[in-house]
Amino acid sequence: GAGVSQSPSNKVTEKGKDVELRCDPISGHTALYWYRQSLGQGLEFLIYFQGNSAPDKSGLPSDRFSAERTGGSVSTLTIQRTQQEDSAVYLCASSLAEGLANEKLFFGSGTQLSVL
């Protein structure tokens, strides 16, 4: 596609429910990243993929968080048993190469998650 696409753009859920957030990266981009941004805060790194594998999962806050990527393209971030502190904007980004600090990232508009 023309840009990074994320869905849904907004998600309201009840505490304890599971949610799935989807990211469709730019075609041909091999690297895909998930970040979380809480209100007024910077971007918190969660996980990155090179192809379908995740060399760096160091940012996942707990075992309630998981992510997968299939076909080297679409990625899904799953949060199980959501808690109120999970409320944030979840941003996905893609780049041409993996984990290189000279690669610029292309971001989607994010999914605003609200846990009631």
Give residues in contact with other proteins (CB under 8 A): 4, 33, 35, 40-43, 45, 48, 56, 91, 93, 99-102, 104-110
- Alpha-helix residue ranges (DSSP H) falling in 35-79: none
Nearest distance, CB of residue 16 and other proteins, angstroms = 28
The two tokens of residue 33 are 């990243």
Nearest distance, CB of residue 62 and other proteins, angstroms = 19
Nearest distance, CB of residue 105 and other proteins, angstroms = 6
Choice between 33 and 65, CB closer to other proteins: 33
Q: What's the rounded Cα separation, in Å, for the pair 52 and 77?
A: 13
Choice between 75 and 108, CB closer to other proteins: 108
Identify the burial level of 13 via C-beta atoms within 10 angstroms of its C-beta, where 0-12 means exposed, 13-18 middle and 19 or more buried.
middle
Choice between 50 and 80, CB closer to other proteins: 50
Q: Residue 86, by phi and psi: left (phi above 0), alpha (psi -120 to 50) or beta?
A: alpha
